[in-house]
Structure 1
Amino acid sequence: MSAQTVATAFQRHFGYAAPLLVRAPGRVNLIGEHTDYNLGYVLPAAIDKEIYFAVGLNGGHEIRLVSHDLNDCCTVAVDQLHRTDTQWANYLLGVAAQLQQRGIVLTGFDCVFGGNVPVGAGLSSSAAVECGLAFALDQLLATHIDKMTLAHVAQKAEHEYAGVMCGLMDQFASLFGRDGHVVRLDCRSLDYEYFPFDTQACRIVLCNSGVKHSLADSEYNKRRQECEQGVRILQQHYPEVQSLRDATLAQLQAHQAEFDEVVYRRCRYIVEENTRVLQACEALQRQDLVGFGQFMHASHAGLRDDYQVSCPELDALEEAARGLPGVYGARMMGGGFGGCTINLVAPEQVEAFLEQVSAAFEARFGRRPDTYQTSIVGGVSQVVGEQVTAGIGQ
């Protein structure tokens, strides 16, 4: 898959050339899971698994969308934007609807998109789709929206059109990624800081459990509700606690008797995970990958035992990686209930790591997991060299 592939498909579908070409990366998150919607800290990076877009204004009154990978189409009138039964299209239509709600005069446009971000692997293919189109429309309509606002546009699209009450991390990472860096985002203040991460000195290896998950299912939104319930309990004693970001472990423990056991464990995980992100960044600054990896394993244990969003396949992958030569750390990544583990591995040990983890997984589940080695790249951008002036349709 390349930008040229979607450009060719665009001309074939719509009969005119010269679309704007855009790439939007998926993301990994080294540590800080489910903390974003609790206004805490996350540590993501954009990666070289990407969605490519060819987008052009068509001079009419329709939005015409083509999923190249699914070989499927969807058409909606600009003045009748609504959620459809075509789930993949809702991510794109939600972006268009958000722009309209912000007072932007939207004209008809055509879009072909496709890429190599594995769907359901926890690499945020949905955020890449949203952010890529938001960026493309901003360019074509010359609306000059800043990147943070585009991230919010994409996030609200997912809330209102895909039905997933996600935090801001995925969209932020896709737009704000920097080559060779991870970025710590404070999800309350939206301050962020880049930290160098050399993927040639330490490889990021993903192992896919093969279990497909949908963040739109009830469990994801239920976790958010449980966290909000915990905040309400704490606010009775500490009015300054507006989110779990503001809570301390001591505060939780002092009022444990007032909590439902499950809600308490959810809140404990979030409070501890926020602390782990800050400690992990300190380890990065010391170039202490062994220390960083210990925080990753602790994160997995919390996600497995307290937040309960793991699954047997993810647990088996993390367990198989733990203690192998050259493995600094491993944990499940993403919303949970499937997807990938993220592993930090010394370059000279990657081949042996992949063989040993795959063999252990196959012995238990009867199949070998898909694996990916990833590099850290920059955020959403126009494809230079293949881009030509946006065309007007017939």
Structure 2
Amino acid sequence: MNNYQYHIFSPYRVCPLGAHVDHQHGLVTGFAINKGVDLWFTPSEDSQVHLESKSFEEIVDFEMNTRTQVKEGNWGDYARGAKYALSKRFELVKGINGVIQGSLPVGGLSSSAAVLIAYVMAFAKANHITLKPFEVVLIASEAEREYIGLNNGLLDQSCIALGQKDGLLFLDCDTNDYRVIKKHPDMPEFEIGIFFSGLTRNLVNSDYNLRVYECKVAAWNMLAYVDTPLKGFDKTFLRDIPKESFEKTRDIMPARFARRAEHFYSEYRRVRQGVTAWETGNLQLFGKLSFDSCESSIHNYECGSPELIAIYNSMHKLPGVYGGRFSGAGFKGAVIALVDPKNKESIEIEVTKQYLAQFPEYETTFKTYWVKPDDGARFID
């Protein structure tokens, strides 16, 4: 794309530990990976935004200096969402002329967050706005919540903007404190397998938002039972409630809400243990905790389609698989695994055989991809 002035690479992300807790201000971990979204663009002379996609036929055109309208229900909503959030902070007068392309047709890797971050960075560049990486995180997250309509936390955007190829991102979604923990020199080599079920999903129309509300209702139950004043729904988070309150109330609240809270508190513990395992190079323990996270996702958080559960069941006992879990919201999409590179060929063969024996209708759409951790979103020279 040599006819464009700038090139942004915005990676996809995977989260080995810290599933479904960022929206409750929990602890999360993640990697940016070496597959993602490429955006080539040139700043416009005026406020016109003109975008083309290598994945969709529609062309997107809008003005940067006019009020953002309601969603139009196409891929251009992510560009309009980035404009919406950025224009709350800065005056935007210059548009861009660009083309965007994704490198993996896979659900569960937060492609929407990668796209939003690319647009935020591009619009900022065109308007001579300097943003720190965490400012990009906050703006892109706000665009996804307020414009796209997904009640997410900061996990996806943080991994994509802050990731480093030689480390694990550890983020506290309550304080927004984060650090990248370098890979221990004694840690075994690993690659990340992405097993794409063949199903795609739209998080806004899935049970993702419902689970967020269930977690908040669980928190309200605990506060009510221990006679603590309730806060507004938008200010209620499981992170603010001591685990002791959960232990006192878990048997008297409705079971579905108790299961959501159980996932949160157990995942908090698993992330703490996982960070210690990573710091000491114990990939076996780190992987086991990722498996445990997936089990809790299935039984406590109650996500996971039959297809994802089948992939998980086929891979989690194979030689060379350290750990893994559903990727993304966990309703369709993909399953990830941390694997010994020496075993990846046999793992791919066995998972494919077992999965297609159970779901032969996905023979043409089931895919396995192998990726590695990478640096976060950046301009490419």
TM-score, normalised with respect to structure 1: 0.88
Query: Which amino acid in structure 2 is aligned with residue 320 of structure 1?
Result: S
Q: Offset of 1:112 from its aligned partner?
A: 1.3
Question: Pairwise mapping of residues 141-290 of structure 1 onto structure 2 (< 5 A)?
Answer: 141-197=127-183, 201-236=189-224, 237=226, 243-290=237-284
Summarize deviations over 1:2-43 as a string: whole Å, max 9, x none.
xx3xx5xxxxxxxxx442211111101111111111101111
For residues 230 and 359 of structure 1, what CA distance do their matches in structure 2 show? 40
Find the residue that maps to 1:144 and give its secondary structure: coil
Q: Indicate how the Cα distance of structure 1 residues 111 and 81 shifts in structure 2: closer, same or farther if over 3 A, else same.
A: farther
Among the aligned pairs, what percent are the same residue?
A: 27
Number of equivalences: 369
Which residue in the other structure is 2:377 paired with? 380
For residues 49 and 71 of structure 1, what CA distance do their matches in structure 2 show? 22
Q: Offset of 1:208 from its aligned partner?
A: 0.9
Q: Indicate how the Cα distance of structure 1 residues 112 and 314 shifts in structure 2: closer, same or farther if over 3 A, else same.
A: same
For residues 259 and 303 of structure 1, what CA distance do their matches in structure 2 show? 20
Residues 292 and 329, structure 1, Cα contact 8 Å, conserved in 2: yes
Q: Offset of 1:286 from its aligned partner?
A: 2.3
Q: Offset of 1:357 from its aligned partner?
A: 1.0
Q: Indicate how the Cα distance of structure 1 residues 248 and 356 shifts in structure 2: closer, same or farther if over 3 A, else same.
A: farther
Q: Offset of 1:372 from its aligned partner?
A: 0.9
For residues 330 and 108 of structure 1, what CA distance do their matches in structure 2 show? 41
Structure 1, unmatched stretches of 5+, are 8-16, 385-394
For residues 154 and 266 of structure 1, what CA distance do their matches in structure 2 show? 27
Q: Offset of 1:249 from its aligned partner?
A: 4.0
Find the residue that maps to 1:87 and give its secondary structure: coil
Query: Which amino acid in structure 2 is aligned with residue 211 of structure 1?
Result: L
Find the residue that maps to 2:165 and give its secondary structure: coil
For residues 77 and 188 of structure 2, what CA distance do their matches in structure 1 show? 37
For residues 46 and 122 of structure 2, what CA distance do their matches in structure 1 show? 18
Which residue in the other structure is 1:73 paired with? 59
For residues 333 and 213 of structure 1, what CA distance do their matches in structure 2 show? 12
Residues 50 and 115, structure 1, Cα contact 8 Å, conserved in 2: yes
RMSD: 2.0
Q: Offset of 1:200 from its aligned partner?
A: 7.7
The answer to whether 1:364 aligns with 2:358 is yes
Which residue in the other structure is 2:321 paired with? 327
Q: Offset of 1:240 from its aligned partner?
A: 11
- Equivalent of 2:28, from 34, 42, 67? 42
Find the residue that maps to 1:114 and give its secondary structure: strand
Find the residue that maps to 1:318 and give its secondary structure: helix
Which residue in the other structure is 2:69 paired with? 82
Q: Indicate how the Cα distance of structure 1 residues 197 and 315 shifts in structure 2: closer, same or farther if over 3 A, else same.
A: farther
Q: Offset of 1:257 from its aligned partner?
A: 4.0
Q: Indicate how the Cα distance of structure 1 residues 326 and 18 shifts in structure 2: closer, same or farther if over 3 A, else same.
A: closer
For residues 291 and 38 of structure 1, what CA distance do their matches in structure 2 show? 25
Q: Offset of 1:248 from its aligned partner?
A: 4.4
For residues 296 and 18 of structure 1, what CA distance do their matches in structure 2 show? 41
Find the residue that maps to 1:85 and give its secondary structure: coil
Query: Which amino acid in structure 2 is aligned with residue 170 of structure 1?
Result: D
Residues 32 and 273, structure 1, Cα contact 8 Å, conserved in 2: yes
For residues 108 and 354 of structure 1, what CA distance do their matches in structure 2 show? 44
**Bigger mean CA deviation after superposition, 306-315 or 109-118:** 109-118
Query: Which amino acid in structure 2 is aligned with residue 225 of structure 1?
Result: Y
Residues 24 and 174, structure 1, Cα contact 8 Å, conserved in 2: yes
**Bigger mean CA deviation after superposition, 34-43 or 365-374:** 365-374
Find the residue that maps to 1:184 and give its secondary structure: strand
Q: Offset of 1:256 from its aligned partner?
A: 2.1
- Equivalent of 1:106, from 64, 74, 93? 93
Q: Offset of 1:48 from its aligned partner?
A: 0.9
Summarize deviations over 1:167-224 as a string: whole Å, max 9, x none.
1111111111112211011111111121234898112111111121111115111111
Summarize deviations over 1:88-125 as a string: whole Å, max 9, x none.
11111111111111132332322211120324x21111
Q: Indicate how the Cα distance of structure 1 residues 61 and 322 shifts in structure 2: closer, same or farther if over 3 A, else same.
A: closer
